């Protein structure tokens, strides 16, 4: 081969796809979602056939938003995240997952929004991810666009989990996918509030269950 000859395509170094880079960024981002569950969420969002945005309730520092953003990049969708960024009950002082470094000294409260913004910015998906900073039940009455995918991963108390279910599940388009995180049928493995949401939705008769991964449950709205 002469110097003028082009390098055969098979000898060129592989160029990682944007989705590959985003999935790697999601895996490395701070948060509580195992990578196998995150990738299952990505695949579910990528496979949804109906139009509409992807919306997650509960964002923490943006880990799951990157899994959704990877799917949104491929399918031409937007990701909307809804979180007040003050942390759930378990993140407050005296609780198991409290991190003093996340407290804003000016107001004396948890504030994960700067960390979320950094995660999204460093991954280069600020044009895909739309962050709404409020409680989910505050936004829900203002929301009118049918959702292609709804990911419920907010506070896991019984009251707040029911509130998120009541506020958002009806906004999912027929044919859309409902994803619920931290579903543990065995109380010894985790809290029961997300499992209660999963059971109530399934028992409504409006949803069919899809294959899940770990604590991530997936259901498709049938009617």
Annotated catalytic sites, by residue? 156
Assess contact for 125 and 59: CB atoms under 8 A: no
Contact between residue 176 and residue 146 where contact means Cβ atoms under 8 Å apart: yes
Integer-rounded Cα Rg, in Å, for the chain is 19
Assign 3-state DSSP to the chain and report helix, strand, coil percentages, each to 5. Answer: 40, 20, 40
Distance CA 150, CA 171 (A): 9
Q: Would you give the distance in Å from CA 147 to the centre of its chain?
A: 13
Residue whose C-alpha is closest to residue 61's, from 6, 9, 22, 110: 110
Phi and psi at 156, nearest 5°, equal -105, 20
Q: Are 22 and 62 contacting, i.e. CB atoms less than 8 angstroms apart?
A: no
How far apart, in whole angstroms, are the C-alpha atoms of residue 217 and residue 184?
10
Report how far residue 110's alpha carbon sits from residue 103's, in angstroms, rounded to the nearest whole number: 4
Residue 80 CA to chain centroid, in angstroms? 9
């Amino acid at each position: 081969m002469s110097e003028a000859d082009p390098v055969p395509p098979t000898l060129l170094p592989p160029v990682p796809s944007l989705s590959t880079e985003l999935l790697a960024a999601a895996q490395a981002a701070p948060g509580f979602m195992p990578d196998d569950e995150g990738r299952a969420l990505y695949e579910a969002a990528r496979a949804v056939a109906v139009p509409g945005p992807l919306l997650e309730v509960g964002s923490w520092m943006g880990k799951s938003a990157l899994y959704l953003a990877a799917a949104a990049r491929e399918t031409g969708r937007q990701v909307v995240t809804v979180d007040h960024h003050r942390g759930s009950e378990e993140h407050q002082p005296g609780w198991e997952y409290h991190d003093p470094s996340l407290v804003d000294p000016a107001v004396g409260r948890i504030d994960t929004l700067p960390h979320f913004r950094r995660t999204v910015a460093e991954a280069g998906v600020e044009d895909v991810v739309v962050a709404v900073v409020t409680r989910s039940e505050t936004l829900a009455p203002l929301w009118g666009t049918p959702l292609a995918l709804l990911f419920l991963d907010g506070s896991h108390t019984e009251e707040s989990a029911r509130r998120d279910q009541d506020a958002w599940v009806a906004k999912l388009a027929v044919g859309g996918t409902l994803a619920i995180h931290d579903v543990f049928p065995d109380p010894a493995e985790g809290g029961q509030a997300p499992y209660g949401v999963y059971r109530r939705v399934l028992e409504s008769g409006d949803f069919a269950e899809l294959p899940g991964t770990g604590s991530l449950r997936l259901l498709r709205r049938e009617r």
